[in-house]
Each structure stands twice: as C-alpha cells, then as structure tokens.
Amino acid sequence: MPLADHLRELRNRLLKAVLAILVVTVVAMIYYKPIADFLTDPVR
C-alpha cells in the first residue's frame, strides 16, 4: 500500500472522528441538564 493510500485513510478516519466528536458535543450541549441530573441523582 503506497504512502498516499495510508494518508488518505488517515484523513478519512480523522474526519469521521472529528465529526463524531462534534455531534456528541452538540447533543451534550442541548441535553446537558437531563444528563447532569441523571449523573448526580445517586448522590442526592
């Protein structure tokens, strides 16, 4: 496998990882209150 193929695959995997992080961040920002309540309920 030539170097260019490796770099292309790396670019694709990095792009997918960044997109996944962005999606999870947006969802977490939208639903931060229910998530925080769910995580802190056992403490209360």
Domain that holds residue 23: 3-43
8 Å CB contact between 35 and 28:
yes
pLDDT in tens, 17-38: 999 999 999 999 999 999 999 9
Q: What is the pLDDT of residue 29?
A: 97
Q: Which amino acid is it at 6?
A: H
Tally the domains of the chain. Answer: 1
**Tokens, residue 1:** 């496998």
Measured distance CA(40)–CA(16) in Å, rounded: 31
Q: What is the pLDDT of residue 24?
A: 98
- Helices assigned H by DSSP within the chain: 3-30, 32-40
